[in-house]
Amino acid sequence: SLADVRIIDLPKILDERGNLSFLEENRHIPFEIKRSYWIYDVPGGEIRGGHSYRINQEVIIALSGSFDVVLNDGKEEKTYSLNRSYNALYVPNRIWRHMENFSTNSLAFVVASTIYNERDYERDFNNFKILNGGFNI
């Protein structure tokens, strides 16, 4: 659920020669990393995502520029604005997401817990709501 979403503060090594950040499996990422991908050259106004994963968990970082990640667990919605390369957004499985408001030259870097599998995608929001909307207990 949205309660499990969080910003992971990555290490930040400040240096007059330029700053450095890094991430390590287990230490900063709460899953075994099976894949990385990145989204770039997004034209102004475009929206990426618009789906959830049944199993895959992800960590999303704005390595450059900024964008918004809009998350919905079937009950409520929350928007995270990412604009620091040392802030990593943990998104568990079964969270509907889309990304919008990409700044010029922004770079979204994603580490994922599974290899790519189209069958892991839920691309129908109504189905997602039916499966995850439920009642709050």
Known catalytic residues? 51
DSSP string computed for 86-125? TEEEEE-SS-EEEEE-PPTT-EEEEEESS---GGGEE--H
The count of chain residues that interact with ligand TYD, using the rule CB under 6 A, is 7
Choose which of 22, 37, 38, 40 interacts with ligand TYD (CB under 6 A). Answer: 37
Residue whose C-alpha is closest to residue 106's, from 127, 136, 85: 85
Backbone angles phi, psi at 6, to 5 degrees: -160, 160
Beta-carbon contacts of 37 under 8 Å, excluding residues fewer than 6 positions away, are 110, 112
Q: Are residues 58 and 110 in contact, defined by beta-carbon separation less than 8 angstroms?
A: yes
Stretch 62-101: interaction string toward ligand TYD, x if CB under 6 A: ----------------------------------------
Phi and psi torsions of 19, nearest 5°: -85, 160
Of 22 and 40, nearer to ligand TYD (C-beta) is 40
Nearer to ligand TYD, 12 or 49 (CB): 49
| Least CB distance to ligand TYD at residue 78 (A) | 18
Residue 48 contacts ligand TYD per CB under 6 A: yes
**Residue whose CB is less far from ligand TYD, 47 or 134:** 47
List interacting residues with ligand TYD (CB under 6 A): 35, 37, 39, 48-49, 51, 116
